[in-house]
């Protein structure tokens, strides 16, 4: 397994892929560890998560530079990603006891009932390369807190990051087998899912990958959580403050080199401010610095792999050939590495990639609408339903429209973001289930109903 720097084409490192025997041994180790880990006090699990946060902060530069070398994100954004992972660990170190305490339910006067949240066992996490640390930690922190153990099958272009994450938990004092990285390709996922020792799975990735995992896990009656991408609308109403909104629009489309599921991708602008928004947005996109991702002044680095850049360019060409108006960008940068410039396409026709597909790179689709109703209709005219945002000076109006979005998350006057304190996930073809917050820690637990009847004499029943 090889890691290649997308900015230079140079090999970062090579790794030995785990054999079938090594994967089997990891499953066995996970099972054995779980038997003890589920009995470990929640307070101790929380303490270890706090230690993991400290490890991350102590090694921020090391891990950030590793991410940048492996997949090309600007290094300042990589540092922020490491800090966000530490924040997630801190969040569950502080709140897991509250989220996982027994939930008392009011029942008959002569009985007591409660819901107990108990771990399931080894959980397989199939994770993507675009946020190589954060995607993993938003799974790992709540699940380790809940008493599960993790098996990570990471994207094959970020093996160094995968091993570094395992290292974080080892350095924090988690027991061997609590979190293991499997350096293996996608063709092993099915055999892991069908193994009785694997109790559940989560995947962030493409629709095809999600459908395959869901089908296999469903055949085994195993719980899954899927996050399958998005084509998030960014709706600008006629009373939005244009200058501030334009800055957020450009950042929302190009953060992480545009390779983000929750990035704003379709910009839907009211006709009363369209002529003001359009040139400013194009100018803002053109002003971004595309270059060396190790330079703190870089806004947009390379696409993660050359083939991904080629696929992105094909989507742009197909859209423009079908009648979309190219306002800026639209050609790979004339330089070494997989660089693609910030690109804006006006009014992509129906049936084109920029309108109907997830465009995973710094390419924005721009639309003009005449009313709130038309804006919402266009925003919802997609198979995806991950995030959405609306921009307005009228917060009541903004909240009303936010409720009308067919999405798992809706933001008013803020770009869509993941935050440990609120649930993350989508609807429609963007998947199902939730990560983070209380909702995320409850996804992979047995929500066991316990009913205690008070009809027996207390001396016989042990009930007080």
Do 271 and 139 share a structural domain?
A: no
* Coil vs helix vs strand at 301: coil
Per the annotation, the verdict on 89 as an active-site residue is no
Q: What is the mean pLDDT of residues 38-67?
A: 98
Tell me: do 274 and 219 sit in the same domain.
no
pLDDT at 463 over 50: no
426 lies in some domain: no
Same domain, 379 and 269: yes
Structure tokens at 128: 């993507």
Catalytic residue among 70, 81, 227, 358: 227
Give the H/E segment covering residue 378.
helix 372-380
What six digits make up the tokens of 233?
């609308």
Between the alpha carbon of residue 4 and those of residues 68, 75, 206, 283, 337, the distances in Å are: 11, 16, 22, 33, 11
Q: Would you say how long the chain is, in residues?
A: 464
Higher-pLDDT residue of 454 and 79 is 79
Residue 165, CA atoms < 13 Å, CB-side half-sphere = 35
Asked whether residue 153 is domain-assigned, the answer is yes
Total of domains in the chain = 2
pLDDT tens, position by position, 316-347:
999 999 999 999 999 999 999 999 999 999 99
Query: Looking at the domain assignment, is residue 218 inside a domain?
Result: yes
Tell me if 423 is assigned to some domain: no
SS (H, E, C) 382-425: CCCCCEEEEECCCHHHHHHHHHHCCCCEEEECCCCCCCCCCCEC
CA distances from 290 to 65, 194, 414 (A): 18, 44, 24
Q: Do 236 and 314 belong to one domain?
A: yes
Same domain? 215 vs 79: yes
Q: pLDDT digit string (tens) for 386-440? A: 999 999 999 999 999 999 999 999 999 999 999 999 999 999 999 999 999 999 9
Q: Which of 85, 89, 198, 261 is catalytic?
A: 261
Q: Is 227 a catalytic residue?
A: yes
Considering the domain architecture, whether residues 315 and 381 belong to the same structural domain is answered as yes
Q: Average pLDDT for residues 244-267, to the nearest whole number?
A: 98
Q: Do 204 and 236 fall within a single domain?
A: no
Residue 21 lies in a domain: yes
**What's the pTM value of the predicted model, to 2 decimals?**
0.95
pLDDT digit string (tens) for 121-143? 999 999 999 999 999 999 999 99
Phi, psi of 177, deg, nearest 5:
95, -10
Query: Could you give the 3-state DSSP secondary structure of residue 308?
Result: helix
CATH of the domain at 275: 3.40.309.10
Q: Can you give the CATH number for the domain in which 24 is found? A: 3.40.605.10
Beta carbons within 8 Å of 378's beta carbon, 6+ residues apart: 233, 266, 268, 367, 369
336 backbone dihedrals φ, ψ, rounded to 5°? -65, 140
Residue 464 counted as domain residue: no
Cβ atoms of 48 and 173 closer than 8 Å: yes
Contact 345, 320 (CB under 8 A): yes
Do 157 and 18 belong together in one domain?
yes
pLDDT over 80 (residue 458): no
148/220 same-domain check: yes
Residues 122 and 247 in one domain: no
Verify that 122 and 171 share a domain, yes or no.
Answer: yes
pLDDT score, position 455? 76
Do 118 and 31 belong to one domain?
yes
Share the mean pLDDT of the chain.
Answer: 96
pLDDT cut 90: percent of the chain above it: 97
- Provide the domain limits for residue 121: 2-228+434-450
Does 419 reside within a domain? no
Residue 62 maps to a domain:
yes
């Amino acid at each position: 397994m090889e890691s290649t720097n997308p900015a230079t084409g140079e090999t970062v490192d090579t790794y030995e892929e785990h054999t079938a025997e090594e994967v089997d041994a990891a499953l066995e180790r996970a099972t054995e560890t779980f038997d003890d880990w589920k009995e470990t006090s929640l307070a101790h699990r929380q303490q270890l998560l706090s230690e993991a946060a400290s490890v991350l902060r102590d090694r921020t530069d090391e891990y950030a530079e590793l991410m940048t070398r492996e997949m090309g994100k600007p290094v300042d954004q990589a540092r922020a990603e490491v800090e966000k992972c530490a924040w997630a660990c801190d969040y569950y170190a502080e709140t897991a006891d509250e989220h996982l305490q027994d939930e008392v339910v009011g029942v008959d006067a002569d009985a007591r009932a409660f819901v107990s949240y108990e771990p399931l066992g080894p959980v397989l996490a199939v994770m993507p390369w675009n946020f190589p640390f954060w995607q993993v930690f938003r799974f790992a922190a709540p699940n380790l807190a809940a008493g599960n153990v993790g098996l990570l099958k990471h994207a094959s272009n970020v093996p160094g990051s995968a091993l570094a994450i395992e290292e974080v938990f080892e350095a924090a004092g988690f027991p061997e087998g609590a979190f293991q990285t499997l350096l293996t390709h996608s063709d092993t996922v099915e055999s892991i899912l069908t193994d009785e020792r694997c109790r559940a799975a989560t995947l962030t990735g493409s629709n095809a990958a999600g459908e395959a995992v869901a089908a296999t896990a469903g055949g085994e009656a195993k719980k899954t959580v899927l996050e399958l991408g998005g084509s998030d609308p960014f709706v600008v109403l006629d009373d939005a403050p244009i200058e501030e909104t334009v800055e957020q629009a450009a950042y929302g489309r190009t953060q992480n080199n545009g390779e983000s599921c929750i990035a704003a991708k379709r910009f839907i602008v009211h006709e009363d401010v369209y002529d003001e928004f359009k040139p400013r947005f194009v100018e803002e996109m053109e002003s971004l610095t595309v270059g060396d991702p190790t330079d703190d002044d870089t806004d947009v680095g390379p696409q993660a792999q050359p083939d991904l850049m080629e696929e992105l360019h094909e989507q742009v060409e197909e859209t423009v050939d079908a009648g979309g108006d190219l306002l800026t960008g639209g050609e790979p940068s004339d330089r070494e590495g997989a660089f693609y410039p910030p690109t804006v396409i006006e009014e992509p026709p129906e049936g084109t990639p920029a309108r109907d597909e997830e465009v995973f790179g710094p390419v924005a689709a721009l639309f003009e609408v005449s009313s709130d109703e038309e804006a919402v209709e266009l925003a919802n005219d997609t198979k995806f339903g991950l995030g959405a945002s609306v921009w307005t000076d009228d917060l009541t109006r903004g909240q009303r429209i936010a409720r009308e979005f067919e999405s798992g998350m809706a933001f008013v006057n803020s770009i869509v973001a993941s935050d440990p304190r609120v649930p993350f996930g989508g609807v429609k073809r963007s998947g199902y289930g939730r990560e983070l917050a209380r909702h995320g820690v409850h996804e992979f637990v047995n929500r066991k109903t316990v009913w205690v009847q008070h009809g027996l004499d207390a001396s016989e029943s042990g009930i007080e």
